[in-house]
A and B are shown apart, each in its own frame.
Chain A
Amino acid sequence: MPTLHTINKSPCERSSAKSCLDHVMEGDAVLMIEDAVLGARKGGTFVRVLKAERPACAVYVLGPDLAARGMRTEDLAEGISVIDYGGFVDLAVANARVCAWL
């Protein structure tokens, strides 16, 4: 059963986002929370890497963290789904384990 990976730091600040992508299996889910949502902006390096290297995993971003940082849905790269804390809980339920990349 798949894993929910969470990333909480900006990919430009720390390498945890990259480490996460290096350990994702097909069918896993990746959720970006807190400062990590900044990496979901279209045109940024991270989303380019994400698209090139991990097309087979579902990527989510926490809406409240986006809004807090002045990001709108239109600012996001394609293929990233916005969820709320309830959605975060649902993802944790739907996947067998949660792996935090701090």
Chain B
Amino acid sequence: MRFGIVVNEGPYTHQASDSAYQFAKAALQKGHEIFRVFFYHDGVNNGTRFTVPPQDDRNLQRQWSELAEAHKLDLVVCIAAAQRRGILDANEAKRQGKDGDNIAPGFRISGLGQLIEAGIQADRLVVFGD
């Protein structure tokens, strides 16, 4: 089956991103396809490369980036939610006149339409939130 996954909360504060990650890993292990992982609301905060979590704990951003690379996953951060919360790629930083960008490898910023498209294209859409 083809899955769409939605992550509505940021890393660490809620378990949503962890649960979504574990679900994604399990789905891939079973041979399913993940059409897209869409990060909305505070979920966009999973996509910054500037987190420095404690060494003895998991690095959620790195986990997502590595899973994306290993399985060619499409990790999409919603542009509207990202703008509110300060997650930028180089293009957005330039467009908005900001002095830096922070998007993590493997994540891309795009519109809410990508969430709807995931709902249309996937067989199942699974939402992780608070």
CB within 8 Å of B: which residues of A?
6, 8-9, 33-35, 64, 84-86, 88-90, 92-93, 97-98, 100, 102
Residues of A within 8 A of B15 (CB): 8, 34-35
Report chain A residues within 8 Å CB of B3.
92
Chain B facing A: main interface SS: mixed
Select the stretch in B46-54, B85-93, B96-104, B120-128 that faces chain A.
B120-128
Chain B: residues with Cβ within 8 Å of the partner, total of: 21
Interface centre among A9, A97, A100 (most CB of B within 10 A): A100
Given contacts A8-B19, A34-B19, A93-B1, contact A86 B29 (CB under 8 A): yes
Determine if B23 is an interface residue (Cβ-Cβ < 8 Å).
Answer: yes
CB<8 Å pairs between A and B, sample of 20:
A8-B15, A8-B128, A8-B130, A34-B15, A64-B22, A84-B26, A85-B23, A86-B29, A88-B23, A88-B26, A89-B23, A89-B26, A92-B1, A92-B3, A92-B126, A100-B126, A100-B129, A102-B127, A102-B129, A102-B130
